[in-house]
Structure 1
Amino acid sequence: MPDDAQDTLLRLEGVHTHIGEYHILQGVDLTVPRGALTVLLGRNGAGKSTTLRTIMGLWQASRGRTSFAGRDITSASTPEIARAGIAFVPEDMGIFAGLTVQENLRLAAIAGRFDAARLDWIFGLFPALKRFWLRPGGLLSGGQKQMLAIARAIVEPRQLLLIDEPTKGLAPAIVDNLAQAFEDLKARGTTILLVEQNFHFVRGLGDHVAVMDDGRIVHTGAMAALSADEALQSRLLGLHAGAVH
C-alpha cells in the first residue's frame, strides 16, 4: 500500500487493544490510502472487528497510535472521531427498530435537516429506502436494514467509512447492489475500510488488502495481486483453488 503521508488518510502504528483479560490486538500496523477501498480480511476471531471498534474509540487502545488525516485520534472519544469525519457501520447494523427509515436518517443528519440533493443520491443507491420511508426499521428485511445502516453513515459527507461484514446473510441481488453503492462512494472520493468474509465480493471491489491473523497484520498489498495468486489465497485465507465464496 502507498506509504506517502499525503496519500494516507488513516494509519495505525503498533496498536494493542485489551478487552478485559484478553489481548486482542497485538501490535497492528495498518495504512489506509486516501480515496480507495481497503479490505481487511482474516478468519473469525483474528481481530478485524476489534480493529474497527478501536479506530472508532469504542474500545480504547492500550498501546500504539492511531492517526487520521494527520491528527492523533488515539485517545479521542467516539463523538470526537465521528465529528472528525469517520462513520462506522457495525456488523449488527445498529439501526433503531422502533423508528422509521426517515427518523433513523434524520438522527444522523446535522440538526436533523436533510440535504435534498444528497438524499436523492442515497435514494438512487438504495431505492427501497424511499419506498419504505415511513416503515419502522425493525420491519425491514435484512438487506434493507443494511442499506439503512449505510445510508445513515453517509447522510452527511464523511472522509472515511468503516464497514463491518456488510454482506453477511444477504441475498446475491442485494450484495450486487451494495457493490455498486461502494463503487459510487469511491467515485465521490470517500475512503472505505471494509471488513468482509466474502472474498468473491471483495476481490473485484477492493483496491488494497490487509490480512489479519491472531491480532496482527500478516500481509498487505494490492487486491489484484492477491486475487491472481491462488497459492497466496490458500496460505493466507485457507481458500482452495476455485473456492472464492
Structure 2
Amino acid sequence: MSDPLLTLRGVHTHIGPYHILQGVDLEVPRGGVTVLLGRNGAGKTTTLRTIMGLWQVREGLIQFDGAQIHQETTPVIAQREIAFVPEDMGIFTDLTVHENMLLAARSGVLEEERLSWIFGLFPPLKTFWHSAAGVLSGGQKQMLAVARAIVEPRKLILIDEPTKGLAPAIINAMVVALKELKEMQTTILLVEQNFSMASAVGDTVAVMDDGRIVYKGDMCELAADAALQERLMGLSLEAHQ
C-alpha cells in the first residue's frame, strides 16, 4: 500500500437537524482493506453515504484519486469507478439475478471471464441466474449485492456490514471474495461489526465515536491489544467473534 486513494478532511454532515459527522479525518490507502469500526450510531454508515454523495458535506473536503469529489453528484462519483454496497443491499428483487448484474455493468455487457470468477466466489448466483432475486436467501442476496459491485473492476468499493445476520459459511465466502479483490489491488472501505471477519481481511482500521475518528492504525495492532479494544469500544472486540 502507498499513498491514500481516498481522503476525508474535517468532514461535517448534517441530516435534517442532526449533526452526524463532526469533523471526520480519514485516509484509505490504495490496494488494501480499511475497516471502519464503532458503536451503532457512531456515524459509520453516514460516512459511506457522504462519500457517495447521498448526503451532502456541510464542511470539509473529500478527495479521491487526486480529485475533490465532495461537491459532485452520486452518478458522477460512481463514474469515477467507486461502487457502494449499502446495508440494505440495494438489489432489485423483481428482477432476475442476471438482470441485476446486467444493470450494474456500466458497459451493458457481462464479461465472461469476470463472470466465471464471480460464480467461483458465489456459486448460488449461477444456480439462480434466471430466478428473481427476491427468492434468494438473505445470504444469497448479500452475495448478489457484492457481485453487482465487482461485476466490473472498480478503484474503490464501499461495503456496509456485509456479514450482518449471515451464516458462517457465507461469511467465509465473503472473506475469500474480499481477499481476492485485495490481491487484484482493489481498494475497499468496509464497515463491519464481526471483528473476526474484519481482522481477517483488514489492513488498516479506524474507529468512530460520536461522529469523529478516535483511532487510526494497523488492524494487526488493534487485534492483538485487548485493552485497546476495550478502551476504544467499551467492550472487547473479541465478543464480536
Interval containing the TM-score (normalised by the shorter chain):
over 0.9
Q: Deviations over 1:168-212 (max 9, x none)?
A: 000011001100000000001100000011112111210000000
Taking the aligned partners of 2:237 and 2:84, their CA distance within structure 1 comes to: 33
Q: Which residue of 2 aligns with 1:181?
A: 177
Matched letter for residue 95 of structure 2: L
Q: Deviations over 1:91-142 (max 9, x none)?
A: 0001000000000000011242111111111111111100110111111001
Q: Residue 209 of structure 1 corresponds to which residue in structure 2? A: 205
- Aligned residue for 1:105? 101
Which blocks of at least 5 consecutive residues in structure 1 are unaligned? none
Return the match for 1:92 from 68, 88, 105: 88
Query: Separation in 1 of the partners of 2:107 and 2:237?
Result: 51
Are 2:137 and 1:141 aligned?
yes
Instruction: Tell me if 1:191 matches 2:208.
Output: no
Q: Is the Cα–Cα contact under 8 Å of residues 195 and 237 in structure 2 kept in the other structure?
A: no
| 1:241 to partner: Cα distance | 8.0
AA in 2 matched with 1:213: D
Correspondence for 1:77: 73
Runs of 4+ in 1 over 6 A off after TM superposition: none
Alpha-carbon distance in 2 for matches of 1:63, 1:97: 37
Q: Which residue of 2 aligns with 1:15?
A: 11
Which of 52, 68, 72 is 1:56 aligned to? 52
Secondary structure class of the residue paired with 2:200: coil
* Cα distance in structure 2, aligned partners of 1:187 and 1:109: 22
For residue 154 of structure 1, the aligned residue among 150, 163, 174 is 150
Query: Which letter does structure 2 place at the counterpart of 1:126?
Result: F
Question: Is structure 2 residue 218 aligned with structure 1 residue 222?
Answer: yes
1:204 alignment partner, SS class = helix
Partner Cα separation in structure 2 for residue 179 and residue 88 of structure 1: 17
* Matched-pair contact (CA < 8 Å) for 2:193–2:240: no
Q: How many residues in Structure 1 have an aligned counterpart in Structure 2? A: 241
Residues in 1 aligned to 2:15 and 2:148: alpha-carbon distance in whole angstroms: 28
> CA offset at residue 167 of structure 1?
0.5
AA at the equivalent of 2:195: F
Report the RMSD for the aligned CA atoms in angstroms. 1.1
1:29 is aligned with what amino acid? D
Give me the TM-score of the superposition, normalised by structure 1.
Answer: 0.96
Q: Does 1:239 align with 2:239?
A: no
Structure 1 letter corresponding to 2:92: F
Deviation at 1:61, TM superposition (A): 0.6
Distance 1:240 1:38 in 2: 20
User: Taking every aligned residue pair, what percent have the same amino acid on both sides?
Assistant: 66
Separation of aligned partners in 2, 1:136 and 1:101? 6
Bigger mean CA offset, 196-205 vs 81-90: 196-205
Counterpart of 2:231, as a letter, is: R
